[in-house]
Amino acid sequence: MNYANIKSFDIADGPGVRVSLFVSGCTHHCKGCFNPETWDFQYGKPFTAEVQQQIIQQLSPSYISGLTLLGGEPMEPGNQQVLAGFLAAVRAQYPDKNIWCYTGYTWPDDFQEGGKAHCEATKAMLSQIDTLVDGEFKEELKDITLQFRGSRNQRIISLH
């Protein structure tokens, strides 16, 4: 898996100050996407063990509320294969920090067996996520007044 960017101090993509990981690869190709370069699975840099450790270190200050996954699309099955183990490591190190994930897929249908985003890592991945922001960005439903969402169809769902 590749990643496009890591923000060490993000206040736009979840509550509090967060570390945000923007993964590469997305098959949704939403019209008006703010990050279309991340559609390419080869975009950015490899998500190595060193990068994972760097993020874990960035999460250590007490003022960091948690980790946010964005993209691209974190819930693409190929990305889940890598992220599930990483999220387990984050959760083991920081059980009190929350994990948010933005996805264009829809809860719960796309994550069930036979769903568009389901793979052998899905259950493990979802078990680590506290809050899921679901639904493709819809340019015709764009609303800049929404907190933590870009369009009115997107939902903020507590998984735990």
Q: What is the pLDDT of residue 34?
A: 78
Total-model pTM: 0.95
- Report residue 84 as tokens: 């599930």
Domains of the chain: 2-158 (3.20.20.70)
pLDDT digits (tens, 9 = 90+) for 107-159: 999 999 999 999 999 999 999 999 999 999 999 999 999 999 999 999 999 99
Q: What is the pLDDT of residue 72?
A: 94
Q: Are 75 and 103 in contact (CB under 8 A)?
A: yes
The burial of 116, by beta-carbon neighbours within 10 Å (0-12 exposed, 13-18 middle, 19 or more buried), is given as middle
pLDDT confidence tier of residue 89, bands split at 50, 70 and 90: very high
pLDDT confidence tier of residue 5, bands split at 50, 70 and 90: very high
